[in-house]
Each structure stands twice: as structure tokens, then as C-alpha cells.
Structure 1
Amino acid sequence: MKKKSKRTLKPKLRFPEFTEEWRHTTIGEMFNTDDKPVKATCFENDKILTVRLHVNGVVRNERTSALTGGSNYFKRRAGQFIFSKIDLLNGAFGIVPEEFDGFYSSSDVPAFSFGTEHSPTFFLNWLSAKYQRLDIERTGTSATLKRVSPEKFWGIPILLPSPPEQQKIAECLSSLDGLIGAEGRKLAALRDHKRGLMQQLFPGTPTSLGTPTSSSAGGERAGEDAGAPSQPRLRFPEFRDKGEWQTIILGDIVSISKGKGVAKSDVVTDGTTPCIRYAELYTIYGEVITHVRSRTD
């Protein structure tokens, strides 16, 4: 009988200068739990923090018009880890950025200072990869607003490398984040460029089809937006002498049909009929749908 191999506490991919095993501990070790928050006696409504879902960062809370008093609000500092007790498992956590130093959040959005020997960036990346699979219980009397307590959060198991290896991993992932950010800015610039081109490549939209007021070429149509040109401002050279664009009714060239609502419970893996659910238009599909993901019977 073969002996079971001992499970090694090391990552599959590792920098060569580190060889020791990672050690079992809990998340609480990452933080200085003796660093108590300062309760706000008063606060400005434009200095309230919230945390976006799906690891999309810490932002200023714009919905603060109904907030009053300061008994349940605490001052937060740049570099602290902050999370939503209600939506931690939906990725509502992050690190307070420098520009929000001295801002406030409620007791439902607690923040904790990292221990000086640990890397905040390492922990943030670790949690970003693990939060959807955390084995943690939310407690409370309301089914929709159950919360993760700080004590439960601190008790989550974690494998930790040495502080130097934490820092090395953090630097590697941060450099990739920098590249991703740079590519994202390039993509945003290309999208802006595309929008500008589209404004010039497509003529204005008529308000209605109408009928020609004269039979002469280029005659205006009744009901057409007087300010809308019938040919684009920017045109490829080979089409510049091809005349104006034609105004037609969309229903003359496409077939439009209305489907029926499909509940999430009606979607089955091996269904016979492809279906596109309304919410999927925003979460799954792009401008052009080439493959339908969901099916139903």
C-alpha cells in the first residue's frame, strides 16, 4: 500500500529565494486589533465612505442626504482595511486610499489597521481571490441583512508566508495591476475615439420618415429633422460621390418579435430552447450576441 503523500504548505508558483513552508494562522493576525477606532462626535456628509461590490474599491458615499448625527460613525485612516459587514461575501472590501484619510464610515463598514510586519496588498489580493469561497457564517435576525462580525472575520483560516515573501508577491501583483491600469486607459481612449468617429460616420437621425417634398434629388422629406444632414460628415473617398443616405423604416428591413419572461428557476443546463434573459444583457453579453448561454424547456 502506498503511503499518502504529505500535503505541502507551499504555493505551486514561487520565487526561488523562498523555500520555507507557509504557516497556518487566522486573518486576525494580519491586523493590529489593539488599534481602536475613534468615534465621531460629528461629521460632514460629504466625507462618508462606502465600499463597492465585487472588489471595486472604496469610494465616497454619494447617498448621504438622509444621514444625521454621528453616534454610529467612526473616523478612518488611509491604509486601513475596510469592509461591509452585510456584503463582504459579495466583494465589498478594500483599502482606504490616501485621498479619503480622515473620512468616516458607519459601524456596519468597519476598518482595521494592518500590523506593521504584514503587507496590505498581499492580503487584499489573497481575499480578492478567496472571498466567494469563504466558510463564514453571517448572523442576524433579518434574512436580507445578516452580517459578518469582525470576530468571525478575524477567525477565518489563512496560510501566511514570511513578511519578505508577502512583500515580494505584493510587488509582483501590483506591477501587473499597473499594466492592467495602463491598458485600461488605452482602451478607454480607444472607446472615446470610436464614439467620436461614430458621430462623424453616421448622419443625424430623422424625427420621422415622411414623404419627399419634391422629386428632385436631395429633396427634404416632411418630418425630417431640419438640422440632420442626410450624409455623414466623414466619408470614405470611394463613397463621396454616391449621394445621400436613404431614410427607411426599421420594420421594413428587420423582423421584430417579442418573447416572454424566463425566470431564473426555468433555466436548465440541457434545455431544448436557447433563451436570453433580460439581466444577462447587462452582465454577460456585449453589443453583438454570437452564442446564447442559457437554455430552457
Structure 2
Amino acid sequence: MRSKSDKKKPLVPSLRFPEFREAGAWEVKRLGGIGSVSMCKRILKSQTSESGDIPFYKIGTFSKQADAFIENKIYEEFKEKYSFPNKGDILISASGTIGRTVVYDGKPAYFQDSNIVWIANNENILLNAFLYYCYKTIQWQTDDNTISRLYNDNLRKMKIVVPPIPEQQKIAHCLSSLDEVIGLQAKKVQALKQHKKGLMQQLFPAEGETTPHLRFPEFREAGAWEVQTIDQLASKIAQGGTPKTSIPKYWNG
């Protein structure tokens, strides 16, 4: 959705739900005009430990498993005194792989300052659920097409195109429903892979054995499998090579 030529592009999507086809154009907004760029108060290394009360997510463990923790006392104090995400806010990685997102689920956790940020947006203007998908469309890059860090000013200047709240709700619901289906299908695929792996272990003899533990009914009395070397099964073993550059016909495409 971000572009240097916003004025040249139509502000109406090519596909729209029927009830919004006459709702007019979407509005271009800078993220800085929607809410402030926020981050947690800095945590010193001396304030962390390998185990403890509250998981502390650094950029390397963002969206993964925390490997550092802080005391609950620090968590409660900093959460009360300084900026802290609300449930549903979209956290963004500002270094490493730029633009990774995590929806804060409201559970006790703390996040590394400046490396993990969020827009403290007003949901009367922009729903978090819609903002999440806006982030998926942004090209996270700077003027020289490379970016090693997403600075606050970069984020504030990012542009998105925003429809009215009811249309935001409809789009977010549609896309999140698809994400749920994709997630369920991914679990099914993973379960099938595990099932296949288990079958292969049963359908092939274990190391040092010649009879598999599981056989199809018609082969249960077929006897043991035969052990052979590869050269007993193949007429020859060959491998490819690089054609000689001195022979033009090998290099004409």
C-alpha cells in the first residue's frame, strides 16, 4: 500500500464487498498521523536471567520462544510507568528481519526497546485487525532499497490507505477467516507428514533386520527382504560432468 506515487494510483480497490461499492475512495494516512511509535522501557542485561517470572523477548526471539526473563516486580513497575502495548496491538520487528509482526495477546511479557515497536493507534480510526494486514502489504525499504533498521521516523512516514471502520472490519474478518483455514490445513499437513514418517519406519525393516514390522496382507507370508548392494542392482553407476568449454555445441543453450 505504500508508494511514492500515491496520487497516481486510484484509492479504490479493484475488488470490494457489494455493500461498500458506493462507499467512496479510501483515505491515505501516514502511520505517524494514526498514532505514536511506542516501545517498552529499556531493560538492562543485568536485569534479565535465564529463568524467572516474565518472558523477555529480544529481537532474536521475537515470535519465538523467550530465552530471557525479568522479575515480576520490574515488569509491573515498568508497565505502569512507561509505554506498554495493549492487548491486540501489532508489534513490529525494527531490526533483523524488518517488518515481522506479532499480535500482542495480553499475556505477561516484555519486549526489547527500539528493536520491537508498535503504533499506539486509535481504533476509532484504524482497527488493529486491519492494521495487521496493512503491514503485510508494506514494502519495508528505505530510499536506497536496503534497510537494516526501521527507525521511528521511517515508520511514522509510512503510508497506508484506510477505508471506513465497517469496511475495515469486513476485510479483516474475511482475511482472518482464511488464515484460520490455512492454519488448520497446515496442522493437517503436519499430521500427515508425521503419519507418513511413522509408516515408513514400520514398512521398512529396522537396521539389522530383514522383515518390516508392518506389511500389507498379501505380503505377510512373502518371507524376508533380500539384502543387496547397489552395484548388484544397477548395470552401472554414472555421474554428470561439466562440458568442455572448447566444444561450442555444448554451450549454445
CA distance in 2, matches of 1:183, 1:20: 36
Give the structure with the higher percent helix: 2
CA distance in 1, matches of 2:158, 2:112: 23
CA distance in 1, matches of 2:204, 2:156: 57
Q: Which one-letter code corresponds to 1:83 in the other structure?
A: I
The structure-2 alpha-carbon separation of the partners of 1:26 and 1:105, relative to structure 1 and needing over 3 Å to count, comes to same
The structure-2 alpha-carbon separation of the partners of 1:259 and 1:179, relative to structure 1 and needing over 3 Å to count, comes to farther
Q: Which one-letter code corresponds to 1:93 in the other structure?
A: T
The answer to whether the 8 Å contact 1:50/1:60 transfers is no
Aligned to 1:232: 212
The answer to whether the 8 Å contact 1:52/1:92 transfers is no
Aligned to 2:88: 79
Q: Which one-letter code corresponds to 1:136 in the other structure?
A: T
CA distance in 2, matches of 1:156, 1:81: 15
The answer to whether the 8 Å contact 2:59/2:93 transfers is yes
- Normalised by the size of structure 2, how large is the TM-score? 0.70
Aligned to 1:148: 150
The answer to whether the 8 Å contact 1:58/1:94 transfers is yes
Unaligned stretches of 5+ in structure 1?
1-5, 206-224, 261-271, 274-296
Aligned to 1:58: 63
Counting aligned pairs with the same residue, the percent is 28
CA distance in 2, matches of 1:252, 1:199: 25
Select the structure with the greater relative contact order (CA < 8 A; seq sep ≥ 6). 2
CA distance in 1, matches of 2:148, 2:28: 28
Aligned to 1:113: 120
The structure-2 alpha-carbon separation of the partners of 1:146 and 1:188, relative to structure 1 and needing over 3 Å to count, comes to closer
The structure-2 alpha-carbon separation of the partners of 1:135 and 1:200, relative to structure 1 and needing over 3 Å to count, comes to closer
The answer to whether the 8 Å contact 1:48/1:61 transfers is yes
Unaligned stretches of 5+ in structure 2?
1-7, 243-249
Aligned to 2:142: 136
Alignment deviations for residues 176-199 of structure 1 (CA, whole Å, 9 cap, x no partner): 111111112222221222122111
Q: Which one-letter code corresponds to 2:136 in the other structure?
A: S
Q: Which one-letter code corresponds to 1:114 in the other structure?
A: N
The reply to whether residue 26 of structure 1 matches residue 30 of structure 2 is yes
CA distance in 1, matches of 2:49, 2:111: 9
Aligned to 2:171: 169
